[in-house]
Every structure is written in C-alpha cells, then in structure tokens.
Amino acid sequence: MSEQVRQNIPIGQEKVDRWHSLDYSYQPSDLVDVPLKYRGEDCKDRDMKLRKGVLKAFISMVESAERDGVIIRCISAFRPASYQDILYKRAVEKEGPNQKSTAKPGHSEHQLGTVVDVSSPEIDFGLKDSFADTHSYRWILANAHHYSFYISYTKENHHEKGYIWEPWHLRYWGNHVPD
C-alpha cells in the first residue's frame, strides 16, 4: 500500500490534474457527511462527503452568503476513483476520447475531498455555464477566498489545467493560495 493511501495528503499540497494523478485507492480518512440543509434540492439522497475541516469552512461560507441574501448549495463533493471511472466512461461515450469535461479516475480533484460543486436556485441547482450569470457566482468571486475556496477551472486557466471552464467547481486550499 502506498504512503498516499495510508494517510491524508495535507490540504493545499495535493497535485492532481489531467497530468498528475492520485493513487486509485486514495480516500481521505476524515470525510464527513454534508448536512442535508447545505445540499441542492435534487441532491438530498446522494452520498455527499467532504473532509471535516473543509465542511466547516464550506458551512461558514454558505451561512455568510445567506446573511447577504445569497443561496449556495452543494451539488457534488467527494468522489472515489471507482465512481469517477463510471463518469469518465460515460463522458468518453458521449463526447469521444479527447473530451475535457470529465477527469479520468485518479485525476479528479473531487477525490481529494476538498472540492465542492455548487449551484443556486437561480438556475434550479444545475451545473451550467449560466451559473456565472448569477448573484451566487458574483458573491463567490468576491468572497469565497475569505474561506480558502477558489475556482479551479477559470476562463483564464482552463486550457493549462486541461479541463473545461467550470464556474461551479470550488476547491478548498486551507492556508495555501493556489498558483
């Protein structure tokens, strides 16, 4: 068993993208359930987990947004490589082998347990580009960094990261600031 599988990778020090992978078996040991009240309407029956400290920061961010009249909810969180494999195969079937919308298993930031896909009632809790036109997205741009969340795949960096632009995909970096 590799060192990566036995212990959690320190938050902010994980390198995972189209070219750098995690061990297929990697799963953080401190995953906890995202409470139902912080999930999108159609996500109440899904298994949704984040690392314990990430969940605490996410809840703080969501509650701060609510105080500002903005609703943000979790649509997707931790994914084991086995589930990512299913999503990847579906994407390849639909879009072809050069698709850039879904990571290969082991190459998804979701496997870290530090990523949350978010949406809002403004777009019926969908994961769509139109999220970038919402009050929720503007609030995230202005405030998410205060809670150590950053958009991973921006319009500016998505080509170098190897995936499509995803305005809903937030990664928690803890005390680190992403490049």
73-108 pLDDT, tens digit per residue, is 999 999 999 999 999 999 999 999 888 889 999 999
Please state, for a pLDDT cut of 70, what percent of the chain lies above it: 95
Cα separation, 106 vs 147, in Å, equals: 26
Fold type of domain 3-172 = Muramoyl-pentapeptide Carboxypeptidase; domain 2 (3.30.1380)
DSSP E strand boundaries for 84-130: 115-119
Which strands sit side by side in the sheet containing 149-151, from one edge to the other? 73-76, 115-119, 169-172, 149-151
User: Which element (helix H / strand E) includes 136?
Assistant: helix 135-143
More confident: 95 or 34 = 34
Domain borders along the chain are: 3-172
Q: Are 9 and 91 in contact (CB under 8 A)?
A: no
Least confident of 13-22, 45-54, 83-92: 13-22
Query: How many CB atoms are located within 10 Å of the residue 151 CB?
Result: 24
pLDDT, residue 175, reads 83
